[in-house]
Amino acid sequence: MSAFRGFFSGLATYWENLSDRERFLLGVLGAVAATLIVLLPVYLLSTAIGDLESDNAEITAALRRIQGSRNQLAAQRAERAAADARYARQAPSLGSFLEAKAGEQDGLTISDVQHEPEREEGGLRIRHTRARFQGTGLRPAIRYLAAIENSRYPVAIERIHVDHMQAGDRYNFQIGVLAFDRPTEGGVDAGVPAPSGAGAGRAGPPSP
């Protein structure tokens, strides 16, 4: 106990021996030290909370990206399944197919059909047919093209050429249509999958 009394007595003597300026500076240093003791834990705690919030935000963003990827993969699988189902149906003769679709539109008649040589590409047999129409209205022509594209068969419009040679809503146009088949006899096995990449999931010529 006497040791503590001696310590505090020494402090009191030291304080009394200080000048007013020294006492002021010592008080300022004490105030700064007290402020640091109070504020430092608050700063460290707020920093830790901020880091935790940042980590939570990054985790949330990563989970959203994963969920988006899952949705994208599910959409790709559904698109691929639809494409496989479409390729499983072999299109009939393109001439008959085009004439049947034209018969579904009023005022639309094919004037000429020309079959191009078949070829193989990407494990598929490709048939190519051109059809010409004379004096056709624009609206039935557009509906006709949409009916071809929306067909349940693996067919695609390769080209469209339109001439407005007559007055009014009368057009001459020519279309090229492709059919994609999986050969079942000879050549490529019927189990060959549809082309992958940018053109996967839809019937049509390979993307450039």
How far apart are alpha carbons 129 and 64 in whole angstroms?
Answer: 47
pLDDT of amino acid 77: 78
pTM across the whole model = 0.49
Same domain, yes or no, for 81 and 121?
A: no
Domain boundary among 87, 114, 132: 87
Could you tell me if residue 169 is inside a domain? yes
Q: What is the pLDDT of residues 87-146, one digit of tens each?
A: 777 888 999 999 999 988 887 888 999 999 999 887 888 999 999 998 888 888 999 999
Mean pLDDT of the chain: 77
pLDDT of amino acid 177: 93
Q: Does position 194 have pLDDT exceeding 50, yes or no?
A: no
Same domain, yes or no, for 174 and 112?
A: yes
- What CATH number is given to the structural domain containing 142? 3.30.70.60
> How many folded domains does the chain comprise?
2
Same domain, yes or no, for 1 and 39?
A: yes
Q: Cβ-count burial of 140 within 10 angstroms (0-12 exposed, 13-18 middle, 19+ buried)?
A: middle
Same domain, yes or no, for 78 and 109?
A: no
Could you tell me if residue 193 is inside a domain? no
Same domain, yes or no, for 10 and 83?
A: yes
pLDDT of amino acid 12: 66
Tell me if 178 sits within 8 A of 130, measured CB to CB.
no
* Domain enclosing residue 116, as ranges: 94-181
At residue 198 the predicted structure's pLDDT band, cuts being 50, 70 and 90, is very low
Could you tell me if residue 188 is inside a domain? no
